[in-house]
Amino acid sequence: MKPILSSQDLEKCLNQGDIVLYPTDTVWGLGCLVSNKEQVSKVYAIKERARDKGIILLCSRYEQLCIELGETTQQAIEIFRIEKPTTFVMANTNPVLRPTEAQDGTIAFRIVEDSSYLVSILDKLGTPLLSTSANLKGKQPAQRRNELDLNLIKQVDGIVEFTDTKRQTKPSRIMRYDASKASWSILRD
């Protein structure tokens, strides 16, 4: 496990296929590039997560997902994410994202806050980051670096050392979009 000491180091680690621990705009995350199927499988294994359950994707803008979103849906996403960090669940229309789909064919994604250090990294990478909370099964998500489980740290390639979350936060709100009804429902607030 190597320390990641700058945003350039984080970008480099992700590009070479590393699985990393890093602070997000909510809690600490565990992730890799969505394009690396082998590492995506390893993240599922670390989390002991069934493959039929989706994992959140982080992006700096929804265009990185290359999914079909109507203008009204795009506007709703912008309004909801301004209110508070929100993860959106909706039908996947991009075959590249299939390894992260839930059994029902949906994906979950969150557009990181504009002030997050992750925005510039995600813009440079040009692809979503597979991101799940940094905790082992049955444990609470880490909100600070010092809350990360040592057994989790041993299973990753790198850990961000150059920044931490600035405040205590909680996991994001989760909202699901049902295209057949053109309606939103809150799964977690």
Per-residue pLDDT in tens (0 to 9) along the chain, 189 residues: 899 999 999 999 999 999 999 998 888 999 999 989 899 999 999 999 998 888 999 999 989 999 989 999 999 999 999 898 899 999 999 999 999 999 999 999 999 988 789 999 999 999 999 999 999 999 999 988 999 999 999 999 999 999 876 554 678 899 999 999 999 999 999
DSSP state, 57? E
Long-range contacts of 175-183, Cβ-Cβ distance < 8 Å, separation of 24 or more: 175/80, 175/86, 175/87, 175/88, 175/89, 176/88, 176/89, 176/90, 176/106, 177/73, 177/76, 177/88, 177/89, 177/90, 177/91, 179/90, 179/91, 182/72
Q: Which helix (H) or strand (E) holds 33?
A: strand 28-33
Give the DSSP letter string of 106-133: EEEEEEPPTTSTHHHHHHHH-S-EEEEE
Measured CA distances, 182 to 74, 109, 174 (Å)? 12, 18, 17
pLDDT of residue 26: 85
pTM: 0.91
Domains of the chain by residue range: 2-188
Please give the pLDDT value at position 165: 61
How high is the pLDDT of residue 86?
A: 94
Q: Please state at what angle helix 7-15 crosses helix 118-125, rounded to 10 degrees.
A: 40
Sheet of strand 129-133: strand arrangement: 2-4, 158-160, 20-23, 28-33, 129-133, 56-59, 106-111, 86-91, 173-178, 183-188
The pLDDT, as a whole number, for residue 10 is 96
List the beta bridge partners of residue 87: 110, 174
Predicted pLDDT at 183: 94
**Domain 2-188 grouped into CATH 3.50.50.60:** no
Of 7, 119, 5, 132, the residue nearest 57 (C-alpha): 132
